[in-house]
A and B are shown apart, each in its own frame.
Chain A
C-alpha cells in the first residue's frame, strides 16, 4: 500500500486569508480548498509528506463575539476533510486572532481527537488561555516573523502528521504548557541531586528540575465598617465534619467541599463532630473540634453583640495534598455562595 500524505487543515483569520482587513473581521467561518496565504509557504515546507487539503477562515470579530459557537462551527467545517493534523496561525501578537487559534485548536482536538498546533507571540492573550491544552510554537511579535516561524511550525506539524512522539518543550520547540509530566530517567533522585550540587559548586551550568512557582495575588477586599451589623462566616480546610463524614470528604486530595448547618449549635463536641483530614495528628481536633473550627468563640461573640450574625452554615474541605486548581475552584464556589447569602466577612482556619 502506498503511504499517502498526511492531511492537514489550516486555520486563518480574514486578513491572512487575504479576504480583507478590519472591515472583514465580521465574516463567519468558511472554508477554502487547499492552502491559502501563509499556508502556501507552510505547504512548501511540508513538502511531499503532508498536504494542506483545506483552509478554514473566520473573521476575528465574529469569533471573538461568540467563541464557543464559532469554535463549533469551525469544527463542523474541518470534520469532513478528515485531517491528521490541524494547524492554526501564526497569530503573532494579534490578540483576537490568537484567542481564535487557541479556541479553534482546543475544539478540534476535543471533538475530533485530531492533534493540533498553533503559533503566536508569547505574550499573546491566547497563550495564557490555551497553553495548557494546545501546543504553541513561539513566534515573534510582528508579521515580519513569518519567515522564521513557518519552518518551525512545519516541523511540528510534520511530527504530529507522522505520529512521532512530542518531547520536552526545550527539545521540540514549543512553549512550556505549565504541565508536570512523569518520566522514569536513568539516574536516581539522589544521584541527580549530588550531580546538581557539584555543578552548582563548580559554577557550572545546571538546570533545576522544578523552577519555583508563583501564586496569583488577589487585591485585598475592603474592611468591614460595622462589625456589629455584619454577618461573619466560618470556613476551614481542617476537615471538621459531622461524625461519620457523611459526604465522604477525602483525607487527602479532596475533590469536594461541604456546607453544614450550625443553626442552634453553640459548640462543636466530640460526639457530634470529627476531623477527616489525614495530614495532621487528629487527636486534639477530635477531642474538641472548636480547636480547628472556633464555633464556640464565634457564637459567644455573636451573643455578645460583637458581630451582627454568625452565618448559619460553615464550609469545610481538607487541605491535604489539595491541588491549587481545586482549591481555587472550591474557593470561588464557596465565595459565590457566601456573597449570595449576604455574608460580610470570613474567618478561614487552616491546619
Chain B
C-alpha cells in the first residue's frame, strides 16, 4: 500500500464568497458551510466562526477536531463507512489542508468537552492553538436524544472537513509525503509493532473503525496507512486532555515516528488495533488477543498507547504484561492523574513489567488563564466540564481549570512535548 499525502500549507483562514484556496489562504463560504450542516434535520442551528493563532479567542465547549482532507481521485467524502463511500484507506493520493482544522462546538455532554485558547498560557498545551480553525457551532433540535445528537455533530464535523478539503482540487501541494512500508527491510533491524487501543465505552465514549463501533471489535491488524487516511474516527468525549480527536488519528505521531525510522533503525511490522471495553472479560479477551497478534507479527518490541484513563489503565497493563510474557519488550505512553499537587499515584493499575513508560503530563495540574477578548461558543460549561469546578470562571473571565479540560493537552499518542518529572 502506498499513500501519498499531498499537503497544502494554509497560513490564514478568511470568510469569502466561495470556498477556495488562494496563496495559502483558505477562504470559507459561511453560508455554504451552514447549509451543509443543516442538511441534517437533527440540527436546528449552525454557525461558523474563525479563530487564528495568536488571537485572543477561547473556543468552548469543543467536541472533536478534524483536518480537512479529500482523496485526490475524486472519491466522495473522506471517512469510509462513516461520512464517505466505503473504500480501503491508505493508498493513493490524499490532499491535506495543513495548518487548518474544523472544530465542532456546542454543548453535548456537559461533562467532557474541552476548550482551546488561541493565545496565552493554555495555547502551549494544545496543538490546535497553532492552527487556523474553522469553528462549527451546532445546536440540535429540541428533545433530540443523546445518541442522535452525538452522531449528528460527529457527521457534521466530518462532512465540513471534507467540504473544505474539496478546495484543494487543482491546487499544487507544497509537499508530498510518501508512506510505504516496502519490502526487503534489513533483517537485523528490530521488529517493532504498534498496539493502538481505541476508547469504546458507550455513548460519547466510542470510536469507529471504518464506521464499525470499536466496542464490538476483536483486536485486528491494520496497515499503518489506514489511520493516516481516515479509517478511524472519534465519537467520544472522554476528557479533553487525552481523547484522541479525529485529527490525532489522522496524524498519529507514533505511526509517523515509526515510519520515520523504518528501514534505518527499525522494521515497522504493523499496527494492532484493539478496544477498551467496560467489562473485565472483554478487557482480558482483547488484551490476550492483541498480544497474540503482536506475537504473530514476529515483533521484538511494541509501543502501546492509551486513550482515556482510569479503567483503561487496566487494559494497558494487561497488554503490557501479556506482550512481555511472550518475550516481546514494550514501552507505554500514558498521562498521569497525580492530583493537583502532583503527589498522588498517577495510575489506577500497575504491573511490574511496565518498566518503560513515557509520561505526557499530569492532567490534574491547575492552570490559571486570563480572559480572552472573544469567546466562540459558551464559557459557562467551563465549570462542569472535566477539569473544571465551581468557581472555575471568575467574574472577570479569568479561568482556573485543570489542564484536563484543554483539548489534546495530555494526548497519549505522544503528539506533544509536555511531560511530568519526579521532583
Contact = CB atoms under 8 A, between A and B. Distances in A.
B364 A209 contact: no
Contact of B266 (A185, A188, A198): A198
A1 interface: no
A180 B342 CA distance: 5
B343 A180 contact: yes
Interface in B289-346: 300-303, 309-310, 329-334, 336-346
B329 A193 contact: no
A321 B337 contact: yes
B203 interface: yes
Interface string A311-343: 000000001110111100000000000000000
Interface string B332-367: 111011111111111100111011111111111100
A279 interface: yes
B30 interface: no
Interface stretch (B99-107, B173-181, B256-264, B370-378): B256-264
Given A209-B419, A280-B201, A201 B364 contact: no
A80 to B, nearest CB: 32
Contacts of A198: 190, 261, 265-266, 301
Most buried by A among B339, B365, B416: B339
Contact of A197 (B109, B301, B347): B301
Nearest to A167: B423
A2 interface: no
B203 A281 contact: yes
Interface in A275-291: 278-283
B217 to A, nearest CB: 17
A181 interface: yes
Contact of A253 (B343, B352, B386): B386
Interface string A177-219: 1111111111111111110111011100010111111110000
Nearest to B192: A197
Contact of A168 (B110, B310, B423): B423
Contact of A321 (B190, B361, B384, B386): B386
Contacts of B300: 201
A183 B351 CA distance: 26
A190 B404 contact: no
Most buried by B among A178, A212, A281, A282: A212
Interface residues of B, number: 85
Contacts of B333: 189-190, 193
B417 A185 contact: yes
A345 interface: no
Interface in B80-123: 109-112
A180 B336 contact: yes
A209 B357 contact: yes
A323 B418 contact: no
A31 B146 CA distance: 69
A323 B339 contact: yes
Contacts of A208: 355-357
B386 A193 contact: no
Contacts of B301: 197-198, 200-201
Given A190-B253, A278-B109, A210 B346 contact: yes
B298 to A, nearest CB: 14
Contacts of B414: 188-193
A248 B391 CA distance: 11
Nearest to B329: A200
Given A190-B415, A209-B357, A210-B357, A323 B384 contact: no
Contacts of A187: 417
Contacts of B364: 253, 321, 323
Nearest to A176: B422
A74 B301 CA distance: 56
B413 interface: yes
Nearest to B362: A180
Q: How would you classify the secondary structure of chain A's contact residues: helix, strand, loop or mixed?
A: loop
A200 B356 contact: yes
Nearest to A326: B339
B346 A321 contact: no
A252 interface: yes
B224 interface: no
B417 A186 contact: yes
B423 A169 contact: yes
Contacts of B352: 212
Contacts of B184: none
A344 interface: no
A295 to B, nearest CB: 22
Contacts of A202: 190
Interface string B389-418: 110000000000010100000011111111
Contacts of B354: 212
B232 interface: no
B360 A321 contact: no
Contacts of A255: 389
A326 B341 CA distance: 11
A178 B343 CA distance: 6
Interface in A235-255: 248, 250-253, 255
A132 B422 CA distance: 11
A323 B420 contact: no
Given A196-B358, A197-B331, A200-B356, A190 B254 contact: yes
A258 to B, nearest CB: 13
A193 B302 CA distance: 10
A193 B345 contact: no
A158 to B, nearest CB: 19
B205 interface: yes
B331 A252 contact: no
A174 B204 CA distance: 45
Contacts of B341: 132, 179, 325
B111 A176 contact: no
Contacts of A181: 342, 420-423
B339 A190 contact: no
Contacts of A132: 341, 343
B239 interface: yes
A321 B339 CA distance: 8
10 contacts: A179-B341, A180-B421, A192-B358, A193-B414, A215-B345, A250-B388, A281-B204, A321-B239, A321-B337, A324-B339
- 4 closest residue pairs by CB, A with B: A189-B414, A281-B202, A323-B339, A278-B111
Given A168-B423, A179-B342, A185-B419, 4 more contacts: A188-B257, A189-B413, A194-B192, A321-B386
